[in-house]
Amino acid sequence: MRQPDWQIAAGTAPRGGDAPAVSAADIRALLAESGWLAVDASALSDEDDLYAAGLTSHGSVNLMLALEERYGVEFPEHLLRRRTFESIAAIRSAVAGLLDGAPGAG
Amino acid sequence: MRAPTPDSLPAMAAEVAADAAAIAGRHADSVDREARFPAEAFAALKDARLLGLMVPRDFGGGGGGLADAAAVAHALARQCPSTGLIYAMHQIQVACLVRHGQNGAWHRGFLERLAGEQLLLASATTEAGIGGDVRSSACAVTGTVGGETGDAFRLEKQATVISYGAEADAILVTARRTADSPPSDQVIVPVLRGQTRLEEIGGWDTLGMRGTRSVGYRLVAEAERAQILPLPYADIAARTMLPVTHILWSSVWLGIATDAVARAAAFIRAEARKRPGTPPPGARRLAEATAGLQAMRGMVRGALARFEEAADDPDRLTAPGFTVAMNTLKTEAAEMVVRIVGQAMLAGGLAAYRNDSPFSLCRHLRDAHSAPLMINNDRILGNTANLLLAHRDNGSLFG
């Protein structure tokens, strides 16, 4: 009777050739404007730990809302966990999966 | 010496705790009056091996789960809420170590000592100048005179509250990972009595929960880096400390409410015997309090079941829906205990209002009022409000 626990949509590669328009640079820019990090986002690599860079759970909720607004997607409950927002690469992958219509998206 | 039997049920844990609970009850008034540590009850808890209840049997512990610890905290709180709350706070620290400290040699050795010597663990998460946000630290793990990168570290914290700090054998302290880390990048580390200097700041003369002696300290520790739990505190907090805290605290408050309703019921029955056929005037309030108690008990048991279902799945434990559920347990249970004790007081009337009556609810009332303030309900509601922006409740009966 549980809600199905989908495997990580964030980890799946975008299907098809029409790769969605989300880049690490976009996300880095969004983070740089936000003020949710304690460091300069432009200095972060794609794999750097955003929590170590000062992202809080409060900040991650606002980050999610900003991503939803920016890309016109909605994060389903199963993507709302720490890992989804742990790095620029993880965020890019999650948003790409949503734009590509991964299970549970929208 | 009785140890919890293998695969013990929560009811059995509470039974093992019965002697300690009775002792806690005998000293509850003196603990409250003198605002002192409930030493007699903790000696009995150690004799019954209940401080190591949740330590796996491989390490010499009781092998119990969170439901067992909740049952013991509840049984103790019915007799002496300060004792129940100290037990709960100890088990919160144990849960963090058991769930996140089984890989390192130091931590495995510490779990064995914890069970073998029945060590009492306290916590130093709040800090001066931080405004009560336990997910933020000013202090940091730094090097010692031996250098920044040596095996030893130094940590100095202005801890606004360390409950029963003077009696604890070890204290779990939060701090920034390094001197350069942002306030939210925290680690948690158990430091031992011999590694730690405590200077008391201020006293503890409060309305209730007086036996917890939750005074402030300047804490200075020098210890081994191997003692630092490897997982970031943010993860430990989300997966273990937050849900376990709210479940065990709520179990303590349920214990207070349970005894308050029992005393009110005893009073109403005594009144009814004096005038058979005429319902005592407080009888309806007793019915009201009983309804609240039933709802509260259901809520605590529901939260326990929810935790146990998600316990081994980090993704479920860090999902907004789970955190919302645990936050809501805390804020709601804290309101309920105050309301239920108030209703029981109305049922018992002057007999409950007196300090010197067998139906007295004065200590219950004072202790209950700590519940909404321990991590202020308003702070938690604000946190929940933020999480609700992300949480999508699927609305189904069984979630």
Q: Is B320 on the interface with A (CB under 8 A)?
A: yes
Q: Is B104 on the interface with A (CB under 8 A)?
A: no
Three-state secondary structure string covering chain B: CCCCCCCCCHHHHHHHCHHHHHHHHHHHHHHHHHCCCCHHHHHHHHHCCCCCCCCCHHHCCCCCCHHHHHHHHHHHHHHCHHHHHHHHHHHHHHHHHHHHCCCCHHHHHHHHHHHHHCCCEEEECCCCCCCCCCCCCCCECECECCECCCCEEEEEEEEEEEECCCCCCEEEEEEECCCCCCCCCEEEEEEEHHHEEEEEECCCCCCCCHHHCEEEEEEEEEEEHHHCCCCCHHHHHHHHHHHHHHHHHHHHHHHHHHHHHHHHHHHHHHHHHHCCCCCCCCHHHHHHHHHHHHHHHHHHHHHHHHHHHHCCCHHHHCCHHHHHHHHHHHHHHHHHHHHHHHHHHHHHCHHHHCCCCCCCCHHHHHHHCCCCCCCCHHHHHHHHHHHHCCCCCCCCCCC
Which pLDDT value is given to residue B147? 67
* Nearest-5° Cα angle at B135, B131 to B138: 60
Mean pLDDT of chain B: 94
Could you give the CA distance from residue A47 to residue A44 in angstroms, rounded to a whole number? 8
Name the residue among A51, A55, A80 with its Cβ closest to that of B390: A80
**What is the percent of chain B with per-residue pLDDT over 70, rounded to a whole number?**
96
Look at B232 and A38 and tell me if their CB atoms are within 8 Å. no
Nearest partner of A90 among A45, A47, A39, A55, judged by Cα: A47
Look at B238 and A55 and tell me if their CB atoms are within 8 Å. no
Look at B183 and A57 and tell me if their CB atoms are within 8 Å. no
Could you give the CA distance from residue B259 to residue A38 in angstroms, rounded to a whole number? 48
What tens digit of pLDDT does each residue of A6-57 get?
Answer: 343 444 444 444 445 889 999 999 998 888 888 888 889 999 999 989 898 8
CB atoms within 10 A of CB B207: 11
Look at A77 and B315 and tell me if their CB atoms are within 8 Å. no
Check pLDDT > 70 for residue B380: yes
Segment A88-101 shows an average pLDDT of: 93
For an interface test with B, the pick among A39, A51, A57, A67 (most B C-beta atoms closer than 10 Å) comes out as: A57
Q: Is B316 on the interface with A (CB under 8 A)?
A: yes
Check pLDDT > 50 for residue B121: yes
Q: Write down the architecture of domain B122-227 according to CATH.
A: Beta Barrel (2.40)
Which of A23-49 are b and which e, b meaning 16 or more Cβ less than 10 Å from the residue's Cβ? ebebbbebbeeeebbbeebeebeeebe
Q: Is B60 on the interface with A (CB under 8 A)?
A: no
Look at B387 and A52 and tell me if their CB atoms are within 8 Å. no
Look at A82 and B320 and tell me if their CB atoms are within 8 Å. no
Partners of residue B184 in chain A, C-beta under 8 Å: 38, 51, 54-56
Look at A83 and B234 and tell me if their CB atoms are within 8 Å. no
Check pLDDT > 70 for residue B2: no
Minimal Cα distance from B314: which residue of A? A81
* pLDDT confidence band for B148 (50 / 70 / 90): low
Segment A56-77 shows an average pLDDT of: 91
Which pLDDT value is given to residue B255? 98
Look at B182 and A54 and tell me if their CB atoms are within 8 Å. yes
Look at B182 and A81 and tell me if their CB atoms are within 8 Å. no
Which pLDDT value is given to residue A11? 41
Which pLDDT value is given to residue A5? 41
Distances (CA, A) of B384 to B24, B319, B324, B328, B331: 35, 12, 6, 8, 10
Partners of residue A2 in chain B, C-beta under 8 Å: 309, 398-399
Contact B207, B32 (CB under 8 A): no
Closest approach of chain B CAs to the CA of A17, in angstroms? 30
In this structure, which topology does domain B233-388 adopt according to CATH?
Answer: Butyryl-CoA Dehydrogenase, subunit A; domain 3 (1.20.140)
Could you give the CA distance from residue B304 to residue B246 in angstroms, rounded to a whole number? 10
Look at A77 and B398 and tell me if their CB atoms are within 8 Å. no
Minimal Cα distance from A4: which residue of B? B399
Minimal Cα distance from B394: which residue of A? A3
Check pLDDT > 80 for residue B16: yes
Name the residue among B136, B309, B318 with its Cβ closest to that of A82: B318
Q: In this predicted complex, what is the ipTM? A: 0.72
> Where exactly are the structural domains of chain B?
10-119, 122-227, 233-388
Contact B363, B299 (CB under 8 A): no
What are B254's two structure tokens? 């349920």
Q: Is B327 on the interface with A (CB under 8 A)?
A: no
- Residue ranges and CATH numbers for the domains of chain A are 22-99 (1.10.1200.10)
Look at B390 and A64 and tell me if their CB atoms are within 8 Å. yes
Domain B10-119 in this protein, CATH class: mainly alpha
Size of the A and B interface in Cβ pairs below 8 Å: 76
For an interface test with A, the pick among B135, B181, B184 (most A C-beta atoms closer than 10 Å) comes out as: B184
Closest approach of chain A CAs to the CA of B116, in angstroms? 36
Partners of residue B135 in chain A, C-beta under 8 Å: 56-57
Which pLDDT value is given to residue B146? 64
Segment B27-42 shows an average pLDDT of: 98
Check pLDDT > 50 for residue B149: yes
For an interface test with B, the pick among A48, A80, A85, A98 (most B C-beta atoms closer than 10 Å) comes out as: A80
